[in-house]
Structures are given as structure tokens and as C-alpha cells.
Structure 1
Amino acid sequence: MLVVNTSATLPAAVNGRVGGERVVVHFSTRGEDGRWAVELRAPGASGAGVPRPGGPAGCVVRLPGGRELVLEEPLGGGLSAGPDQGAVPGTASPAGPAGSPLAPAAGARLWWARVPERVPELLRRYGRPIRYAYTERDQPLSAYQTVFAVRAPDGSGSAEMPSAARPFTAALVAELVSRGVQFAPLSLDTGVASAEAHEPPYPERFAVPSTTAWLVNAARAAGGRVVAVGTTAVRALESAADADGVVRPAAGWTDLVVTPRRGVRVVDGLLTGLHEPEASHLLMLEAVAGREALRRGYEAALERRYLWHEFGDVHLILPDEERNTPDCSSN
């Protein structure tokens, strides 16, 4: 069984100005009170944004069409989950920013901002996909959508593409189904990652429907293998599982960080891209496959010059006892 994330990618980057300074606003996460977590970046020579200090509180950012947003307070979520610290427990709380998993903390690069108009409409009219310096050019939003993407009625979605599913095509899905592979959908709306600082993931909105919970539990009871397509699918599915690995329907916010110490309770394998050495996602990969298998897999990827990041290659990671090394397969 393959568990897939159906969250659609938003055109989450919008040009703006702070006084006379040009900025790029990355819209990351919608709070329950209508505010959005945003990141301000400076335009880069390559067309991608470069780091820029956020704030201060009260800062007004002028947006296209005469609109404005106002930065109100920094956003927390710098969750600490090193190899010896275990996991931060997952939640399914419907709470909003104040007193929730997204409570403010001083010094964060992301800020809660008040926006006078529905952000999805603003993004549809003026937005473009977020891109970073390792990409060579702008691409249309369709290049950032996976075959599993489903547009949400309220316009919510992911600030960045759940990219592990990008190599899938409709033809490939049909072929896998014809061979007896089941697909189970869930959603997790990704926020804006820190391409430079490699911060641990902060809380994100997710939903595991009852049909997916039933399918996963049935597959496990029958001795089947549950493979998550992407780290986002792992985070959502593990957030909906109890200590015995039974998955229950869940929706809300999750602050779960999967580490080797916490381990995985439901997922038997992971299809994912290649992550840089400082990336917090590597802790999740190690939790699935073990450190030695992960090391051998990355050595093979470097030797064969596989590609990193959203438009790079993906590889299948299985536990050490089932395979001697993770597979790396080209897009």
C-alpha cells in the first residue's frame, strides 16, 4: 500500500514592498484566527529569494493591487528533536495560533500577519510558486503539482510541493493499481521550509480520513507493507496512530517530529527525495531504515550523481532487516 499526500501546492510567493525596499512574501500557514504565517525574503539575482530579517512588529508590507499586510508577532515552532531528545508528541488539536502548537516565540524568521483579504484569492491573482537558488528558472504552478493533488474548497494547501510524489504520473498509478497496489490518501499542508537553517519542522495542519485509517489498518492486519510517499505522509500518518500502531481518523495540527528514538509505528517504508546532511528529515529516514543503511544509500546516490531537492531523484527506503540498503531510483 502507498500512502499519498493530496495537498495541492499554492502559488505562495508574492512581491511586496517595505517602505522603498522590495521584498518577496512567502505565505506559509493559515491560522485558525484568519492570520497567516509569512516569511519575508529579499529578491535574489537568480530570481529566488534570499534570507532577510523578519519584523519588527507593526511592519507594513505593501502588496499588489493596493493591499497591505501587517506583521504582528513572531511565530514559534523551532521544535528541538535531536537524536538524543526523542520526538515532540503529535497533536490533533484544532487550536489556533494563541496557546496552540503555533504559539509565538521571539526571534523566529516566520511572523503572524494580518491580511485584509482572503489569501487564496490574493495568491491566485498575484502569486507564483516558491523557488530557491538551486533551481535555474521560474516554472508554472503545474510543474509543482503532483498527480495526487486535490484542490481544497477553502483554498488551503501547501506552501511548498510535497515533492516525493512528483515522479508519479497517471499512467504509472494505473499500472500500479493493475498490479494490486492500493493507494490511501491523506493531507498535510506543508509550510515554508528553511532552505538555509535546516530547522526542525514546525506544526502543520493535517487530516487522515476514516477510509484511509481503515485501509491502513486492514493492510497491516493482512501482513501487507505500508509505504509512505514522502516525509509529509509519514508525519501525518504517524500522528494519527496510537502506541500500538492502530491508525484512527484525525485532523488538526501536528507537532510530531519522527526521530530514531521515537521510531515509526505504522510506516514500513518510505519513498522520498534526497536530503542535505543538515536536514532534519534525515532523522525520520534513519528511524525507518537505520543509520547504516541510510549511509550506504547516500554513498550510492553521491557516486551515481543523483539529483537533490524537489526536482531531483527519489529513492525507496526499507528497514534494514528487509533490505541491505535503500534503493535509489531515478525520476
Structure 2
Amino acid sequence: MNVRFDLPPDLSASAPPEARGLARDGVRLLVASPESVHHTVFSALGEHLRPGDLLVVNTSGTLPAAVDALRGGRPIVVHFSTSLDDGSWVVELRAPGGPLLDGRPGERLDLPGDASLTLLAPAAQGSARLWRAAVSAEVTGVLAAAGRPIRYGYVPRAWPLSDYQTVFAREPGSAEMPSAARPFTPALVTGLVTEGVLFAPLLLHTGVSSPEAGEPPQAERFRVPATTAALVSWARDRGGRVIAVGTTAARALESAVSDGAVHAAEGWTDLVLGPDRPAAVVDGIVTGLHAPDASHLLLLEAVAGATVVQRAYDAAVAQRYLWHEFGDVSLLLRH
């Protein structure tokens, strides 16, 4: 990873912007390109877009994916990450200090409502953090009855699920919010459309985001509709920029590329964008600010280049932008 910076602990957003007296689109926006860095607010996004630009958005909704459990009589939290094709789930066991790495195949945990969870096997070779697990009840029912949004230590109090949904959310399935799209409001979207900016939907259900050091991104379920693929081709042919709203949208869109073009596709993607696999069709990305050791930084480099990303993060630290899902946002442009 080429981008390096130190993140002061007081730059983690601890609450939604609405709790800080801001509208959703009132968070700060840092616009970085090879030519310049500009500081503004998200409601002014349209000033940095052109008619014919295409914003690709993720329509995945956020699940209440954190559930209290008992492990040998001791309370812990289970994070439900990903639903697998055979009905099992990828889960993470958590304590207040972080992930629990001592799971055992066959271990049984008690869930609310007389449900139970049995660990089957590690979800990835060489990782002790994520487990494939069988659940005795319908997981969506367990989450609806007893789940809450996943949150980490920098968010000290609970917030309702509605604070973790974006305006584009249509199909629940993400363990954590595709947060780059959170600042969009219906009024902002309407204004951008009126100015000739295009929108295209896709789907990627994201899993939990707290990897161990050096752990690659997990495989995720995605879908790129034929109409979105056609809009990408249309915009590129006419000189419009294809801008992914979030790392999830970038990963899904690039997973549908073959022979230099986007095609309708769905299934599972294990694509890891980075220096060895730069973005083929994504020209820019709207994205939150990621932690220094996050694999997402490699994806940002794959889209905008290491120089632009480094310049953006240096400026964000210097200007005291706020990090994480309730924080500020950047627009990184390749050219």
C-alpha cells in the first residue's frame, strides 16, 4: 500500500451528522484530482460534475446485523456478515475489545428467541476471525426481532437502523452501510438529474469491514443489470465520466468488466482492485475516509492513483475532516 498517514483518534465521527446539527448533505466534501484539491460541502457536489457524467450507486440496504448471544453462558455479540448459497452464514464473534479468534468447529451459541448458531468451519483459509455457521432459525427473522446495526468503538451510543440506510437502499443484505451514499438526499439527486447527471443502479451486499491485518476483502454477492452496463457504455462513448458511489459500487462494476467493457453480470466477486488490477472503467469515486490500514485504500489507488489519494488524505488530516460512516466524504478523480 502506497498511501501513508496517521489518523488522530479525535477525527472519527462519533454520531450521525444530523446529531451534530447538519443535514445529510451538509457534511464536508474534499474533491481531489491530479490538478488540485478543493474543499466544499456535499450539497455542492454538482459543481464538480458535468452533464453526461454517470454516478453508479449501490441499492443494497443495511441489515440490523449485530445480535447478542451467549457463549458458554457468557454474553458476546455475533455480527452476521454474509448469507451463503447453501443457507449458512458467515459470522464474526465479537467482544467489547474486538473480534474473538478462538472459535471451534461444532461450537454452539445461544441466540435470542430459542435460536442457536453452530460454527462449522473457518470462512477463509488461514483466518480465525470469520466463520461459516448454521443457524437453527430463519436469520432474517432473528435480525428483525433482536438485531441492531453494527457499530464500533468510535460510535459510543446506539442509533436507529434508519440512520444506517442510504436514499438508494432497496434490497436489504449488507452487514454494514454502503456509507459513501449516505450524504445523498432526494433533493440533491433531483438537482443533479436536472443538471444532466445520470444515475445507474447496481447491487453489492457488503460484509463486515473489520479485517485482521493483511486480510484480503471477502467475496461478496453482486448484480450489475443490463441497463446499467448499457448506460456505462453510453456515457463513456460520449465523453462522460463513470463515477462509482462507494468502494462497493466500484468493486461490483469492475467485476462486470470483460474485454474492456461492462456487461450484465451477477454472482459472487472476489475481485481485489489495486496496483496489480487498476480500474478499467471507473474514472472517479465518491467515498468516505478510510482507516490507515484499510484495504479500501488500495481500491482508491486503483481508481484515482496513489498520488491523488495521498494528496487527498494529507489534506483531510490537515483540515480535520471526520472519518468513518458518519463522517465526511471525498470525490477522487483520475483525470
> TM-score under structure 2 normalisation?
0.82
Match of 1:71 in 2: 119
Partner of residue 304 from structure 2, selected from 282, 285, 289? 289
Cα distance in 2 between the residues matched to 1:231 and 1:19? 38
Residue by residue, what CA displacement relative to the aligned partner does 1:208-259 show, whole Å, maximum 9, x if unpaired?
Answer: 0111111111111111110000000000000001132x11110000000001
Q: Output the CA distance in 2 between the equivalents of 1:288 and 1:264.
A: 5
Q: Report the counterpart of residue 160 of structure 1 in structure 2.
A: 176
In structure 1, distance between residues paired with 2:129 and 2:305: 32
Measure the CA separation in 1 of the matches of 2:204 and 2:189: 21
Residue number in structure 1 paired with 2:151: 131
- Partner of residue 103, structure 2: 55
* Secondary structure, aligned partner of 1:8: strand
Aligned letter for 2:225? P
> How far does the alpha carbon of each residue in 1:277-300 deviate from its partner, in whole angstroms, 9 at most, with x for none?
211111111122222221111111
Per-residue deviation, residues 101-122 of structure 1 (Å, max 9, x unmatched) = xxxx244311111112211111
Which residue matches 1:89?
A: none
Q: Which residue in the other structure is 1:40 paired with?
A: 93
* Structure ranking higher on relative contact order (CA contacts 8 Å, 6+ apart): 2
Deviations 1:54-95 (A, max 9, x none): 41011111001111110011111xxxxxxxxxxxxxxxxxxx
User: Residue 327 of structure 2 aligns with which residue?
Assistant: 312
Match of 1:113 among 125, 133, 142: 133
Equivalent-residue separation in structure 1 for 2:297 and 2:116 (angstroms): 38
TM-score computed with the length of structure 1 as normaliser: 0.83
More helix by share: 2
* 2:67 aligned with 1:14: yes
Letter in 1 for 2:107: C
Structure 2 unaligned runs (5+)?
A: 1-53
Q: Which amino acid aligns with 1:109?
A: R
The correspondence for 1:303, drawn from 315, 318, 335, is 318
1:197 aligns with 2:213: yes
Deviation at 1:17, TM superposition (A): 0.4
> Are the structure 2 counterparts of residues 117 and 130 from structure 1 closer, same or farther at C-alpha, using a change threshold of 3 Å?
same
Query: Contact conserved, 2:71 with 2:108, CA < 8 A, in 1?
Result: yes
* 189-198 or 16-25: bigger deviation: 189-198
Structure 1 stretches (4+) deviating beyond 3 angstroms? 195-198
User: Which amino acid letter does the alignment assign opposite residue 301 of structure 2?
Assistant: E
| CA distance, structure 1, for counterparts of residue 333 and residue 175 of structure 2 | 28
- Measure the CA separation in 1 of the matches of 2:228 and 2:179: 21
> Equivalent residue of 2:174, what SS?
coil
The alpha-carbon deviation at position 262 of structure 1 amounts to 1.3
Counterpart in the other structure of 2:187: 171
1:196 CA displacement: 5.7
Partners in 1 of 2:158 and 2:196 — Cα distance?
Answer: 38
Alignment RMSD: 1.3
Cα deviation for residue 311 of structure 1 reads 0.6
Contact 1:204 1:255 in 2 (8 A): yes
| 1:12–1:123 Cα contact (<8 Å) kept | yes
Task: Mark the runs of 5 or more structure 1 residues left unpaired by the alignment.
Answer: 77-104, 323-331
Contact 1:198 1:279 in 2 (8 A): no
1:234 equivalent in alignment to 2:287? no
| Structure-2 change in CA distance of 1:279 and 1:7 (3 Å) | same
Q: Secondary structure at the residue paired with 1:139?
A: coil
Distance of 1:266 and 1:198 partners within structure 2: 27
2:266 aligned residue: 251
* Residues in 2 aligned to 1:134 and 1:195: alpha-carbon distance in whole angstroms: 16
1:142 and 2:162 aligned: yes
How many Å separate the matches in 1 of 2:107 and 2:126? 15
CA contact (8 A) 2:101 2:128 kept: no
**CA-to-partner distance for each residue in 1:309-328, whole Å, 9 max, x for gaps?**
11111100011xx3xxxxxx
* In 1: Cα distance, 2:297 partner to 2:145 partner: 36
* Aligned AA (1:9): T
CA contact (8 A) 1:73 1:112 kept: yes
- CA distance in 2 between counterparts of 1:289 and 1:107 reads 30
Amino acid at match of 1:163: S
Identity %: 61
State the shift of 1:197 in Å.
3.3
